[in-house]
Amino acid sequence: MKGNVLVVGASGDIGQEIVRELAVEGYSLLLHYHKNINKIKHLINDLNKDVVLGVYQADLTSKAEIQRMLDNIIYPVESIIFVSGLADSNLFQETSEEMMDYMLSLHVKAPWKITQHFLQPMINNHKGKIIFITSIWGEIGASNEVVYSSVKGAQNSFVKALSKEVGPSGVLVNGVSPGFIDTKMNQHLNETDVINIVSEIPLNRVGLPKDVANVVSFLMSNKANYIQGDIIKVTGGW
């Protein structure tokens, strides 16, 4: 096996595809999910039984649940992939403080806490990879998704800053920034909306979870060992 990888948000469309890719490549996996236990069960059934070391449920907006998950992970974690997330589409002036706190906890504070917990052993071993699935909106921003854009921008900044701090210790930190991907997060869009967006994408198609997983696979490989603090776009040129 190539090493133990914690996938945070393994039950989502992109998370599942990343898990499948890494399983084929010989990684041992620790899978986090929040609510979609049926998707996790279905995913595990499709994998070699020896691939999954453990499955952990936690609401990442709860300090207690995060700590419970961390306490229950008894295996060494050599890499972390953060896929978990939630978009919020709303006018900024109509966004509640509760939603602001929720989005900050989910996208920023939870990854801080989880990374902090596993980082020192990576530094001690001069080995480890941390990958964030961020968003195109974290770089350019989106109307009606101001809070989501803000927290994804915070993830991008975290990647760039932490990579400088831990680079001398051999820990690699990078991000993958998807554009318009065919996931449940975009299912609220109608057919006309999708057609209009695709017309703006030079490759003239919607991105697939597999497209994101392929880049994660590359970053996890030794071929990417001189890439540090980068945010790789997976947008079809959008």
| pLDDT tens-digit readout, 62-86 | 999 999 999 999 999 999 999 988 8
Active site residue 56: no
What pLDDT, on a 0 to 100 scale, did the predictor assign at position 69? 98
Determine the Cα–Cα distance for residues 106 and 201; give it in Å rounded to an integer.
Answer: 29
pLDDT at 96: 95
Which tokens in the block code for residue 232?
């790789």
Name 174's bridge partners.
Answer: 131
Q: What is the CB neighbour count within 10 angstroms for residue 19? A: 27
CA distance 144 to 206: 21
Enter the pTM of the model. 0.94
Q: What is the pLDDT of residues 160-211, one digit of tens each?
A: 999 999 999 999 999 999 999 988 777 677 788 778 888 989 999 999 999 9
Q: What's the CATH code, domain 4-233?
A: 3.40.50.720
Q: Which residue has the tokens 């609510």?
A: 35
Among 33, 56, 148, 226, the one annotated catalytic: 148
* Residue corresponding to tokens 């995913």: 43
Helix (H) or strand (E) holding 63: helix 63-72
H-helix or E-strand spanning residue 118: helix 110-125
